[in-house]
Every structure is written in structure tokens, then in C-alpha cells.
Structure 1
Amino acid sequence: MTLFNVDISSIIILLIAGYVTRFYYKYLTRQSPLPGPIPLPLVGNILTFTGDIAVWPSELQAKYGDIFEVYVGPTRNVWLCNEELPQKIFSSALRNNFHDRVSKDCGLDEVGMINVALAFNLNYDEWTYVRKFYLKTMFTPAFMRQALACTQSTFQLMEGYWAKLGEDTVLDFSEWSRGYLMDSAFFLTTGNYLDVLTDYYNKLSPNSDPEISDGLLKEKEYFRQCATDFINLELWFYFAPKIVRDLPIIRSYTKKCKDKIEYLRENLLKIVKARREEIERTPEDEKLVPDFLTMFLTVNTPRDITKGIADDINGRPMTDKEIVNVFLEVSAAAPGLVWLYI
């Protein structure tokens, strides 16, 4: 194909060759080079990703040592895999000089996860405001008792399913642990089970309880799927460069991931609004259940059930949308990640 006597295919090849040459020139002349897998243009080291974010760093550590570099798209990241190395960086973010844990153009801004909640909040004032809510709720004795009761009841539910499966059944403890974590976190934050354990039991049991399986609507099943997949959806936008996410073949998958996150956010918003209406209907002399959702909704309001605990949160209550962003981290994503930023 030619245009004005110029071979367009040759121009495209020259542009690609120029970009690749520039990329590797910058790679070879980078400051303070570290060991790590050799990146590819545009995609970086994404092709070495094993599919398990918990296993991948361990594999790279075994090959390259305790400190190495990984390219997320064209961006260089230094990973520290010895617990002594990141101690200062990942100590309480309130007392060190490393507040920002991600860059503002890391891809999460496309799904509204930058400058909200804790983990990816680059706005220090907003981050401090949300952090105070966390501290005030978690140090409330009533919440601690609720957390203990929640973990016990969820384990009893899981133990009951084990008994129904029988002693001869081989248990995949990693799957059961995942379900236990998700159900416990969701129940502790919203007062409702996500039914991950129930769904997994129904898949394993040839004689699953009809009342349980028939009661799970397709909409609830899809919501549960979005919630359990949320961390992987986030990783797609974080690791995959925008130019890759927008490729014609991959664009539909990117839209599907974005739609799942939006669906999850909309349904969490319905849960938050329903609980707010429930609190408003509850008589003032009746005690409210001290779960995360109720506490976040009542802090800085006349129905505050955390009074007397770290009473230094001045100003407004949280909006419903702000609470949804918090619960995307706590309930649906990686609960352990959030505590790291407190």
C-alpha cells in the first residue's frame, strides 16, 4: 500500500523498529540497574505472570534474589522480597515518607480506584480522613466482639459442609480458605453472607440442599462472581498497559472487566442505601448492630455507635459512594491489603 509514493507498511515497520530501539536503549542505560526478567516493549514482563499474584513474586525471588525489577508495561518497578528491606516503606503510612503506593497513571484511574479509600489514595488529606474511620470502627469493643462471633459462625458453617461431604472427601483447603475469608469479610462489613462457601459446597456435593441451591438467584451468583474476581479485575488494569487493553481483540475483555467492577459498585451502593434506610427506621432507643457498614454510616451523625473511641474525626459523615469505595477494598478485594495501609 502506498500513499504519495510512500510505502506505508515500511513507515510502520520503521516506527516500530524505532520504538523498540528506543525502549531497549533506555532499558540498557537505566539508572541503578537491578536483576530481573528482560521486558518486552509495551507489555513489559506481563508474559511471565503465572496467573497467581501470590506465587509470581516467589518465583521471581527464587530466580533473581530478594530485590529485583519488574516492568509493568513500560514502567519499571522495584520489588523487595525480604521482609527487612521494605520494613520502613511499608510501616504505618502515617509515620513515613512513602505515602504513595501507586502512580496516578497506573491504570486503576480508569475504573475509579485512584484517590478513593486507602490502598490507592494519593490524596493525603482524604486518605487521613478515611483512615480515621477505619481506626475508630476497628477499636470499638462492640465491633471486636462482632468480629469474633462472625469468624466463629462462618467456621461453623464451613465445618457443617465438611461433615455433610463425609470423612472420605479430599478437601482442597485453599478453596475453602478463600471462601471462608470472603464470606467472613463480607458478613463482617455488611451483615450478609456472600455465599462463596455455599456455592463451593454445592459444586462438590452430588446431593446439595435444594433449598440452598434454588434460593441463589442468577443475579446474586453474578454479584458473587464479580466480588470474588475483583482483585483479578484490578490487576488487569494495573498490569496491562492502556495500549494493550485497548487493542481491538482485547478491548472486549477490558470492557467486560470494567462492566463487572461497575456492576459490583452499583450493587454495593444498593446495599449501603438499604442499610441507611434501615438505620433511619430503627427507633433511637434500639441498639444498632456494630458491623462495619453501620459504623461507617453513623460516624459523625447523632446515631454514632462508636462514640468515645478516637473521637477526633471532625467534619462530615461519609457519603454512600465513599463507603462503597471502602467496601470494594474490604469486602470484595483483598482484606489483608487494606490493613497494610493503617
Structure 2
Amino acid sequence: MSLHKYFENLNFVHLVVFIFLFYVSQFYYKYFTRPNKLPGPFPLPIIECAYCFRGDIKQLFISFNKKYGDSYEIQLGGHRRIVLSRPGYIEKFFNNSLKHAIFMPTTPYSQGVKELRKSGKGLLSNDDFKSWKFAHRLFSRAILSPSFNNEAIKWTKLLFEELEGYWKSLGSINSDDKEWSLGTDFSKWVHRFTNDMIVVVTTGERSYSMGSYYNTLSPIKASYPDALIEDSDRFVRGINKFVAGIAFFAFLGPFMRHYVPFIRGKANEILKHRDFIFDKLDQIIKKRRQEIEVMQNKDLKNDMLTSLIIANTERDVNYKKTAGEEIFTPMPDIEIRANILSAFLAGTDTTANLFSFVTYYVCHYPEVKQKMLTEIDSIFPPNSSLELTHNDLSKLKYCEAIIKEVDRVCPAANLLGRYPTEPIEVGGYQWPAGTMFHFDLVSLHRHKDYWPNPETFDPDRFFLDNKNESYLNVKEDDLINDEHNKKEDRKVEQKYSFLMFGGGYRICPGRKLAMTELLSLMVYIFGKYDIELIDIEAPLKTKSSTATYCQQLMVKIKPRN
């Protein structure tokens, strides 16, 4: 039979089988001929290594590290991913030189991420260096201005006073103590606090997710219109779904997202939440532009959105072009939206989860709690008005050490990534441009070669050798030249073995805001209230994807004596 006759007699099933066999042969040919073969789970066609996932990425990578060591590979989302957890392997990825920053995006081009972010790039997943540099400059200028940080401290106090009111309303009076107390899920309140906080400091608009949660617990409703409460609740839920969906779109290929029934349904649900969030942000941006046009001769708001809108315009008092400097145009609305969303994604769940973990560990270690309270009381005397200032917060060295140690033993973020666009040598191998690297922060932060007694919770490891360093001392130039990170790099024990906010030229630009919020909450909550775990023996309830989420933290809250 001639080849022509053979193809004429092929039916649809035969054609599908032929295409599938061809795909499988190509898939395994590429796998078995790959350079620099590393250990790792064996990939399957189409689903690659997704079959290894059982719902918790953190535990998965811990098990991989124990099985395969400090460097191994996995296949996900159409990419070969090299996972590293030894400081010596990742040192050059955080080189502070501009040359290395140019060819070190955090992720490669991803059809899934592009589909999810819908045109705007922002900071988090931007693989275009020129676009990222432009966004980084304007974002940093906005978030590090003194007016912005003063606004953040102001709103921390206002929102905490609102939170106090809800707690007092829900609390019950104890006849013995003659004081109210409240048993509640602490993590739920902290998540809603940080959501309301990041929304107001970035957009200047109020969110009422704390009020929404209060309404679910109390017959007496919060003093806000129902429409505002419902809108805030939907907005917060949308952001949470969007955050959870990032790994889904980044790691799963288009075939699985578009054609596998259960996965397709989940992908469509995430996209619906995305569309709602984007529409809401577009409305806020349009409204703010109109306000700015009307307020020609009046003081503008000190939120990030206003700063991004007026950046590089005649209203921007902070921008002074010098001779020979590259000319930057104002940021378009689609990029403003992407950068505001980047702030939401990086500044809500991570901060809330980390503070929940801080509370869990402080309650488990009485001696740590007492040292923390002694420091807080020495700077902010009990029964005082607790008027926080940036200068006073910077004195909380032991509190900051607690935060760092908690993030070491239980990182809020589980993975960081870098994607060299030039060849690079790592771990004794020469890797081609375009290789995707991931850093397993959980294993890195507990590496026995770099951390004595890595399983032991001990804030003194950061406090005793780190009294003069603080994330609160970050300035705008530090985010460009990364002088602060160079100081961190000089420490022997923690050099590249502790990456709370990443590192190098792409270190998190919001780390100063995050630490300000965390320290402020420590002062307000532990300075005024006694927090105890209801069940001290209960394990910390978490679930992990690209970040680790606190699912529940039951505590008893009562005023401090």
C-alpha cells in the first residue's frame, strides 16, 4: 500500500493516537537528552510532575529536598525548573550589579501569567527589564516617601482602633477578672486588617473587610452601609482567589487549564475574580484622576495611587530631571493598575500570615514574649497614648529579630525565582540562557550547614549580631543601589541563607512598609492586650502554595493588666 493510500485510510482515532505518540516521543527525547541531568521526580506527558502535588507545595518541596538534596529539577508548566536550597548556589543570582539585574527576571515569559494579568505587567511577574525598571522607579519613589510612611503609621492606628471596637463589642465580661475577654480566630482578623490597610494606603479608598467579618459574628452590625460592606467583602475574596490562582496559572500548561474539566472550571473561576478586581481598580483610578484635575491648587492625598498618577508630571514635586538622565513618561493607567495590584498581592496575605505566625511562636515561648513586652514597654510605656513614630519603631530591635526568626522557621513565601537571559554557571554546571531557577526558602532557611540548631526557635540569632540593622532604615537609593542589602550580605552566618524579602537589585521594594506594619501591630496588640492560644498543644494550621497561609489561629484576647 502506498503512503498516500495509507494516510487516506487513517480515521480520526488513528490520527489522534499518531499525534499523541509523536508528542510522547518528542517529550521524552527532550527529557533524556537534556544537559546537566539532575535528580528529581520523573515527568509524565502533558501533566509533567504535577502528579506529585497533593495540595501543599511547602511540604512537597521539603520532601523533595530530603530526597534529592540541595539541587534537583522538576518539570512544570512547560518548563524545566532547577530548585536550589544552598546559599553558595544562589549567591550570584543576587549580585547587585546592574548587568546581572538586567538578565535576571523573576520568571520567564508565561502564557498563563500573561493570561492572568491581562496586559498590565507591574513588578511581580514583569519579564521586560525596561518596563520593570520604569515601574520600579516610580513604585519605589511612591512607597518610600516620608508622607507615605507617615500615612501608613496613621492608618495603622485608625484601623487598629476600629479593630479594638469590634473585639470589645464581641467580648464577654469575666466576673472574676471584671474585664472582657474574647475567644476568636486571630488569623481572620489579621487578614482583614492587612487587607483594609493595604487598600487604603495604596488607593486612598477605604475597605471594610473587618466590618464585614464582624457582621458575621455579631447581631449588632458595623456602622457602615451594607453596600460598602458587601462590596469590600467581595473585593477581598476576589484578591484572595486571585493570589491563590497565580501558582495555578504559572505551573499548569494551557492544555490543562483550557480542556481538563475540573481544572478548566477552576481557571474560569479565577478569571472571573480577576475581571471583578480589574474593573474595580479601573473605576478607582478613573475617579482619582478626576479628583486630581479638580484639585489644581490643593494638597493631594499621600497614597500610592496618587503618587503613581502624578509621577513624571508637573504635579510631581519629587521629580527633578537632571542633565543626561533618561526621560520617563507618566505611567499609563493599565500599568498603574498592575502596580497597585502588585502591592495588594505582596502586601496583604504575606503580612497577615507572617503576623499570625509571630503570634503563634510568641505564645509558645514565654521567655521570648517577656523580652518582647519589656522592650515594647520601655519605648511605649503602658497606659500611654501609644503615639507611634518611625523613629520609635526603629528602636524595636528585639521585636524585629522575632519577626525575622519567625520568617526563618516558617517563611511566608516559599519560593523565589530567577530566569537568566544569559548563560550562567551554577553548582558546577554551565546552564544555558532561559533556564528557570527556583529557590526553596523553607529548606534554605533551615540549612544545617548555615544555621546552628535550625529547628530551634531563637530570635537572639538575629538580635545579638544585628542591633544596628533594620529594614526600617531603607531609603529610596537603597532600592536602586541596594546598599542595605550589601550590608546584609556582609554577615557571615546569614549570607544568602535568609531571604525574607528576596535580595539583589530585585529585593522587595515594600519591605519597609511591611516591617512598619508588623512592628506597629506588635506594639498595639501585645502592648495593650494579653494574647493566649486557646489550645497550646494544637499545631499551627497552614496551607501552602507559593506562599504559606494561616488557616486558623484560635486565641483568647483580654486587656493587659
| TM surpasses 0.5 | yes
Q: Which residue of 1 aligns with 2:258?
A: 246
Higher relative contact order (CA 8 A, sep 6+): 2
Q: Which residue of 1 aligns with 2:183?
A: 169
Q: Give 1:307 shift.
A: 4.8
- Quote the Cα distance in structure 2 between the aligned partners of 1:179 and 1:92: 36
Instruction: For 1:177-256, list aligned pairs within 5 A.
Output: 177-203=190-216, 205-209=217-221, 211-212=223-224, 214-216=226-228, 218-247=230-259, 249=261, 250-256=263-269
Tell me whether 1:38 sits opposite 2:50 in the alignment: no
Q: Which moved more, 1:216-225 or 1:26-35?
A: 216-225
- Quote the Cα distance in structure 1 between the aligned partners of 2:220 and 2:97: 46
What is the CA deviation profile of residues 237-269 of structure 1, one whole-angstrom value per residue up to 9, with x for unaligned ones? Answer: 211101111206244443332232222112101
Tell me whether 1:287 sits opposite 2:299 in the alignment: yes
Q: TM-score, normalised by structure 1?
A: 0.83
User: Secondary structure in 1 aligned to 2:93?
Assistant: coil
Q: Give 1:291 shift.
A: 1.0
Q: Percent identity?
A: 26
Q: Give 1:318 shift.
A: 1.4
What is the CA deviation profile of residues 143-199 of structure 1, one whole-angstrom value per residue up to 9, with x for unaligned ones? Answer: 1211222333334433443343433514343x4333333222222101223333333
* Cα contact 1:111–1:258 (8 A) shared by 2: yes
Instruction: For 1:20-35, list aligned pairs within 5 A.
Output: 20-35=24-39
- Quote the Cα distance in structure 1 between the aligned partners of 2:97 and 2:244: 25
Instruction: For 1:61-210, list aligned pairs within 5 A.
Output: 61-83=65-87, 85-90=89-94, 94=98, 96-97=100-101, 98-112=103-117, 116-166=121-171, 167-173=181-187, 175-203=188-216, 205-209=217-221
Pair 1:193–1:309, CA change in 2 (3 A)? farther
Pair 1:178–1:158, CA change in 2 (3 A)? same
Tell me whether 1:325 sits opposite 2:330 in the alignment: no
* Cα contact 2:120–2:338 (8 A) shared by 1: no
User: Secondary structure in 2 aligned to 1:68?
Assistant: strand
Residue identity matched to 1:207 = P
Write 1 or 2 for the structure with the bigger share of strand: 2
* Cα contact 1:114–1:122 (8 A) shared by 2: no
User: Secondary structure in 2 aligned to 1:33?
Assistant: coil
* Cα contact 1:299–1:317 (8 A) shared by 2: yes
- Quote the Cα distance in structure 1 between the aligned partners of 2:121 and 2:81: 22
* Cα contact 2:71–2:84 (8 A) shared by 1: yes
Q: Give 1:209 shift.
A: 1.5
Backbone CA RMSD of aligned residues: 3.3
- Quote the Cα distance in structure 1 between the aligned partners of 2:332 and 2:108: 25
Q: Which residue of 1 aligns with 2:329?
A: 316
Residue identity matched to 2:38 = L
Q: TM-score, normalised by structure 2?
A: 0.53
Q: Which moved more, 1:101-110 or 1:245-254?
A: 245-254
Aligned residues: 336
- Quote the Cα distance in structure 1 between the aligned partners of 2:54 and 2:200: 31
* Cα contact 1:233–1:261 (8 A) shared by 2: no
What is the CA deviation profile of residues 81-137 of structure 1, one whole-angstrom value per residue up to 9, with x for unaligned ones? Answer: 345543432455846254222222342122345772222222222221111102222
Pair 1:157–1:234, CA change in 2 (3 A)? same
Q: Give 1:324 shift.
A: 0.6
**Structure 1: 5+ residue stretches without partners:** none
- Quote the Cα distance in structure 2 between the aligned partners of 1:150 and 1:309: 32
Q: 2:313 aligns with which of 301, 315, 330?
A: 301
Q: Give 1:64 shift.
A: 3.3
* Cα contact 1:104–1:114 (8 A) shared by 2: no
Pair 1:48–1:316, CA change in 2 (3 A)? same
* Cα contact 1:183–1:196 (8 A) shared by 2: yes
What is the CA deviation profile of residues 279-335 of structure 1, one whole-angstrom value per residue up to 9, with x for unaligned ones? Answer: 222251x3222110111111222222535799967332112222011111112x223
- Quote the Cα distance in structure 2 between the aligned partners of 1:93 and 1:130: 19
* Cα contact 1:137–1:292 (8 A) shared by 2: yes
Pair 1:34–1:148, CA change in 2 (3 A)? farther
* Cα contact 2:312–2:319 (8 A) shared by 1: no
- Quote the Cα distance in structure 2 between the aligned partners of 1:164 and 1:258: 38
- Quote the Cα distance in structure 2 between the aligned partners of 1:193 and 1:294: 15
Q: Which residue of 2 aligns with 1:334?
A: 346
